[in-house]
Amino acid sequence: MRFLTLALKNLLRRKVRSALTVLGVALAVAVAVSLMGFRTGYKQALSESIDRLGFQVMVMAKGCPYEAATMMLKGGTGLLYVPDSIYAQVGKDKDIDSITPIFIGLAMKETSGLREDAGSSFTIMAGIEQESFATMKPWLKFKTGQGFYGGHWFAPESEDEVVMGYEAATYEQRKVGDKIFLPITPNGAKEAVPHTFKIVGILDRAGSQDDGTVFLPFKTAQKIFNRPNQLTIVGVKLKTFNRDNLREFTNRWISLPEVQVVDMGQVKDTITGLLDSAQTMIAAVAVIAVLVALIGVVNTILMSVYERTGEIGIMKAIGAYRGDIFTLIWFETLFVCALGGALGCGFALVGTKLVEAGIKSLINLGVSGSVVRITPDILACSFGGAILVGFFAGLYPAWRAASMRPVEAIREGIG
């Protein structure tokens, strides 16, 4: 205990330098915690977003399955369509538990117009069959509370009613009963046709791509986009979902010339595998930050040892053992790193939202929900790492101080 007290007093003798060293360690730990939190959070958010699609398999036009998954997660360009007769054909499959058709169009925010694809910022417009879609996603509920007044799904044959996702309604500052005006450019048309819709429901936050979507009846979407008898995706949930059943289901429908069968589980595994491959880069950044902090700690403690050469010589002359000097200097290093580790963990916890907002402002991550998740395991690992840095960083300065000869140290200190 006396070594801890004396080590703390020695550090407080040079408050500014000690504080800067602690801050350096804290920043390195905060970087490491944030990077590990991002990796954990993004992987989990991606997995949840794919699971929140509600279906396990997509039957859709031939193309890249990963582009298809991205389109469903966050919207995309170059939408492809297949005959809606596919829906009836696939719906007869004996292994299907539930099935729903989806027609997707995109609304360009810059011009407030609707197009089937867009090269810039847009809102997803989804034509759905309300009953089968709600069955596939039972967690979708209508927002209640001040300014929303409940809501409900549109009538199946309605041509002027829409339901908005939470984020879409918040962005447009809409509430149930409002009218929205959308100039829509149908397929093959050169000019937009004005349409007015009434908002009959606003969904509560779901933490998925549905939050940013505007829903309308399936037949209405086909009509206003001038794509009769076409759809974008057929979502399927199987009675028993395993590799054998999926392989049999895929083999039955892969022969259709227009479509491909996309396994969302395989898409998820592939994307998370790519994320795992980026772990090396993330770890490299964290290691560099720790090494910089390590050098700073060693430099600070060595400077402290050189400045106290005479003092250390006197301590050894009056009876201090080599082990006492070693322990004292080593404890100073551990104290700096422990305090820096604790502060770094605190900085990361407090700054999580700022880090996440910064990441989302720089890149479109394609997922909803939190992408930085700091767990107790991450905090414990980071704090333990800071202690480990202190353990090794203190070895050389402590050995250097303990190896001083009393007479020479006193003479050098006086000189």
**At 299, which helix (H) or strand (E)?**
helix 279-307
Three-state secondary-structure class, residue 320? coil
**How far is the C-alpha of 168 from the C-alpha of 368, rounded, in Å?**
13
Position 120 pLDDT exceeds 60: no
Residue 149 is given by DSSP the state -
What's the average model confidence in pLDDT over 403-413? 69
**How far is the C-alpha of 296 from the C-alpha of 300, rounded, in Å?**
6
Cβ–Cβ under 8 Å, residues 344 and 26: yes
How much of the chain, in percent, has pLDDT values that exceed 70?
78
Strands 57-61 and 259-263: antiparallel
Residue 75 phi/psi, 5-degree rounding, is 85, 160
Residue 210 is given by DSSP the state G
- The count of C-alpha atoms lying within 13 angstroms of the C-alpha of 258, restricted to the half-sphere facing its C-beta, is 17
Name the band, by pLDDT with cuts 50, 70 and 90, for residue 64. Answer: low
Identify the weakest region by mean pLDDT among 66-70, 181-185, 284-288: 66-70
Position 77 pLDDT exceeds 50: no
Cβ–Cβ under 8 Å, residues 300 and 18: yes
Position 140 pLDDT exceeds 80: yes
How buried is 89 (Cβ within 10 angstroms: 0-12 exposed, 13-18 middle, 19+ buried)? middle
pLDDT tens across 154-177, in order? 988 888 899 998 888 888 788 888
Strand partners for 214: 125, 164
Identify the weakest region by mean pLDDT among 101-110, 132-141, 189-198, 231-240: 101-110
**How far is the C-alpha of 68 from the C-alpha of 75, rounded, in Å?**
9
**How far is the C-alpha of 252 from the C-alpha of 391, rounded, in Å?**
62
What is the model's pLDDT at position 175? 85
How buried is 276 (Cβ within 10 angstroms: 0-12 exposed, 13-18 middle, 19+ buried)? exposed
**How far is the C-alpha of 28 from the C-alpha of 383, rounded, in Å?**
11
Name the band, by pLDDT with cuts 50, 70 and 90, for residue 100. Answer: very high
Q: How many other C-beta atoms can be found within 10 angstroms of the C-beta atom of residue 35?
A: 23
What's the average model confidence in pLDDT over 239-255? 81
Among all chains, which residue has been given the structure tokens 């500014």? 16
| Contacts (Cβ under 8 Å, ≥6 apart) of 221 | 103, 105, 125, 126, 127
Residue 160 is given by DSSP the state S
Residue 211 is given by DSSP the state G
Which residue would you say has higher pLDDT here, 331 or 115? 331
Average pLDDT along the chain:
78
What's the average model confidence in pLDDT over 230-238? 89
What's the average model confidence in pLDDT over 98-109? 81
Q: Give the domain ranges of the chain.
A: 2-47+276-414, 57-240
**How far is the C-alpha of 36 from the C-alpha of 278, rounded, in Å?**
12
Which residue would you say has higher pLDDT here, 309 or 380? 380
Among all chains, which residue has been given the structure tokens 């582009």? 67
pLDDT tens across 79-88, in order? 788 888 888 8
Three-state secondary-structure class, residue 165? coil
**How far is the C-alpha of 249 from the C-alpha of 94, rounded, in Å?**
9
